[in-house]
Structure 1
Amino acid sequence: MKRIFLLLVIVISQVTFGQTAIDSITMDPQKQLNSAQRLLSGVHGSQVTIGAYGEMLYNQPEGDNGELDVQRLVLLLGYRFNDKTQFFTEIELEHVEEVFVEQAFVNYNVADNVNLRGGLMLVPMGIINEYHEPTTYNGTERPAVDNVIVPTTWREMGVGVSGRLNSLSLGYQAYVFNGFKSTTADGEGGVSGFLKGSNGLRSGRQKSIKSTVDSPTFATKIDYYGIPGLRLGFSTYFGKTQAADDVEEIDGANIGIAMLGFDARYAYQRFTARGQFIHASLSDTEAYNNLTGKDLGSALQGWYIEGGYNLLPRDKEQKLFAFARYEMYDTHADTAGSLAKNEAYDRTDVTTGLSYHIAPGVVVKGDYQFRSNESGGNDGVKNRLNFGIGVWF
């Protein structure tokens, strides 16, 4: 055991000294990189690259006990086999008790503007699903739209292509994935469903844990960066859910999904802004609900707009962003058949607070969230005070 520990220390030391520091807190969306882009960028001096990000949070709902949580710690590992072939992986520990592989893929550089990828990858929908490191966004918690509608962190097994066309100021991604899992046999002659009205598709994420696949799904994203400080994104996702072998032929076992996303990020001097709109149209939900007894809506929709301002001079290494975000998200944007819309699923959050970047890669956050839904009740949507510490290196 001591020998293994000593070897690990030596490897990490060699890797650390061989890496070049990169500013992970730049708010310029045209320069901002996520974890995979950083480790695959080729700026490191070693074949083996290592990094990590993590966040520790305190949430205090109004009238309830507060909660302290090491929400996630993620180890980032990359290896460059040669100038064209690289491997990247994220290994995540959630709440100090669950371990997941968040990404694990091989990247092969075919040409300057073309990369082939295969493995476990993030679905390129919206902003946060690809840029979810805690120093890259304001707010102690990720936006609710990216938690309930997208749903972050959304990753699947697949193959695809990515690259940049700098002459057109465009970045592109296109992948074939397996999809969400919708149903399975319940062991008592019936069928259980994973998808439901309160959080839409979220419970159907397979996370590459012995994933069921019976039909492919398709995801694309185009980013435009031709205007200084501005980045625009358009995402699509089309396909059907996946059902277990013994139920896949039953009417209602699968549903169809057509999801579109628009996002924008902007930075000018000390001002930053971002916004996002996601809409998902689901087909065959009436048959699915009749089969499983669930209350899945036939449309999910959410959006937000956010503005931030750095209160410190631009020439300072530290940054102190005051921000406000307004978001609306509804997992019953529409329903099919006799299912009535549940107004409690039509929610609004207003978040305002501070993000204090005390050093490149270290942020201390605090915010207050005003939360409500159209039903007028406060069950599950109590106002909340949040504090957190985030790191990324």
Structure 2
Amino acid sequence: MKNTVFGLIIPALMMGTITTTAQENAGDSVMNHAMGNRLSVGGYGEVALSRNFYSDNEFRYSQPEKHKNDPAHGRFDIPHAVIYLSYDFGKGWKMGTEIEFEHGGSGGAAELEADEFGEWEQETEKGGEVELEQFWIQKSFANWANIKAGHIVVPVGLTNAHHEPLQFFTVYRPEGENTIMPCTWHQTGVSFWGRTKNFRYEVQMLAGLNSDQFTRSNWIKKGSASPTEYEVANKYAVAGRLDNYSIPGLRIGMSGYYGHSIGNSSPNEAEGATATYKGAVAIGSLDFTFKRFNWIVRGQADYGHLGDAAQLADMYNRKTKGSPFHHSSSMRNVSSNAYAIGIEAGYDIFSQIEATRKQNQKLFIFGRYEQYDPYASQMGANSYDYTKVQRMAVGLNYYPLKQVVVKGEFSKRFMKTPYNDEPSINIGVAYEGFFL
């Protein structure tokens, strides 16, 4: 039997009850392999070229008039390169891993500097990150009852649940959800999930987010990252997701998150503000995917609330300057509310051409609109309206094969006055598939 391609549902989802080809949950991707094979090896990757026709100066928002006519800037990038490994031990026991290199990974070296009196120096050779995005061990009792423990994807929002590059039209992941939430959101915890008839469901217990990592421009996005060798779990959180596949070609999902964030850092303090306030994070999300009649339409709406947001301004500098949790005073105001909405639609024009249809090639012409604001509740004396963004994109996705896509788009961020709009052109190529 041929290996299953990422983003497609295993035939009938191994149950014989669902025939739609709407999206499969990304948390299951590691296990999407040919029936009967114990070892699966796969992955996905993206290469991108961008030309941004706006200033990249760090003061372009604080001094917009001064940087209105700054030159364009360009970038080459490898947003994600991922290796999937999974193994079926038998008797319902499985393991899965996902190793991700973001923006080419990272590198360092020790060098002997001849022009600096022969001193050895530590050099940062390149940026990027290397992350273990998934590592879990699972026991399956039945299709409707599976327990997974380890480092897992938190499927809150459309992009986190479906983040592989063939699951969105744009060259980079949808910007709104990628701004206000961790993306891809992954944490260590325990998950109970299953499938029954036309539903897939999942409930997770996780460590809480760390409010010391929240920022004005990205709300809770950095809160799941841990600079320590372990994930601090002074506070806990729960996340859940429910997907319905009742209508052929349509998947409708809802997801949510709730947990406390203040005081979820090291050391755990017995007194003071961190012991008094909770910093409750609550997120609700609705999303859908429609794949039928040569159309693909995706959309999502996310809203989040942060309790005790006003108190965070007095907590950022409670750490020493060398602390990995330290933030400058200019970033200490964090909004109590954030939101992101988005919709995209694409039509396969090759479906109307017999020759390309026979060759299984596809060419989607698409459009996308989104609006988001990580600082929806302005705080403090200053205004930061540059965080409220409307973005539109139009472009093409060409599939010479099911596993490969070539993307091109023109996009523009529409900013509030007096900030300057931000147009760009992005070109990319991506793949996702199994090799074994």
2:294 matched to which residue of 1?
Answer: 270
Instruction: Judge conservation of contact 1:29–1:265 (CA < 8 Å) in 2.
Output: no
Q: CA deviation at 1:181?
A: 1.6
Decide which of 21, 31, 47 is 2:3's aligned counterpart. 21
**Bigger Cα Rg:** 2
User: Structure 1 residues 35, 83: closer, same or farther in 2, change over 3 A?
Assistant: farther
1:285 alignment partner, one of 306, 309, 319: 309
1:107 has 2:147 as partner: no
TM-score normalised per structure 2: 0.78
| SS of structure 2 residue aligned to 1:73 | strand
* Equivalence for 1:204: 223
1:248–1:254 CA contact under 8 A, matched in 2: no
Q: How many residues align?
A: 360
Q: Which runs of 5+ in 2 are unaligned?
A: 10-18, 54-70, 107-128, 317-328, 352-356
Structure 1 counterpart of 2:210, which letter?
K
1:320 aligns with 2:363: yes
User: What is the CA-CA distance between 1:363 and the residue it aligns to?
Assistant: 0.7
* Distance (Å, rounded) in 1 between the aligned partners of 2:130 and 2:209: 20
Aligned residue type for 2:199: L
Cα shift at 1:244:
2.1
1:206-249 deviation line (CA, Å, top 9, x unaligned): 26952111011000111111111111111110011122225574
Q: 1:285, 1:317 → 2: CA distance? A: 52
RMSD (Å), alpha carbons? 2.2
Q: For residue 68 of structure 1, report the CA deviation from its aligned partner.
A: 0.6
Pair 318,84 (structure 1): closer, same or farther in 2 beyond 3 Å: same
| 1:224 paired residue number | 244
1:42 shift after superposition = 5.8
CA distance in 1: counterparts of 2:162 and 2:378, whole angstroms? 31
Are 1:305 and 2:348 matched, yes or no?
A: no
**Secondary structure class of the residue paired with 1:280:** strand
Counterpart check, 1:49 vs 2:40: yes
Alignment of 1:163-174 (within 5 A): 163-166=194-197, 169-174=198-203
User: Separation in 1 of the partners of 2:241 and 2:281?
Assistant: 16
Q: 2:257 aligns with which of 228, 231, 237?
A: 237
Which of 258, 278, 284 is 2:282 aligned to? 258
Q: Deviations over 1:267-322 (max 9, x none)?
A: 22111111100000100011111322401000011101111100102554111111
1:95 partnered with 2:103? yes
Report the Cα offset of residue 59 of structure 1.
1.1
Percent of residue pairs identical? 28
Q: Does 1:296 align with 2:326?
A: no
- SS of 2:158's equivalent in the other structure is coil
Question: Conserved in 2, the CA contact under 8 Å of 1:57 and 1:71?
Answer: yes
Structure-1-length-normalised TM-score:
0.86
- Mapped to 2, the partners of 1:219 and 1:126 lie a distance apart of 11
Classify the secondary structure of the residue corresponding to 2:95. Answer: strand
Q: Quick one: which of 89, 94, 107 aligns to 1:81? A: 89
C-alpha distance in structure 1 between counterparts of 2:413 and 2:406, whole Å: 22
- My pick for the range that moved more, 286-295 or 240-249, is 240-249
Change (3 A) 1:250 1:375: farther
Corresponding residue for 1:131? 162
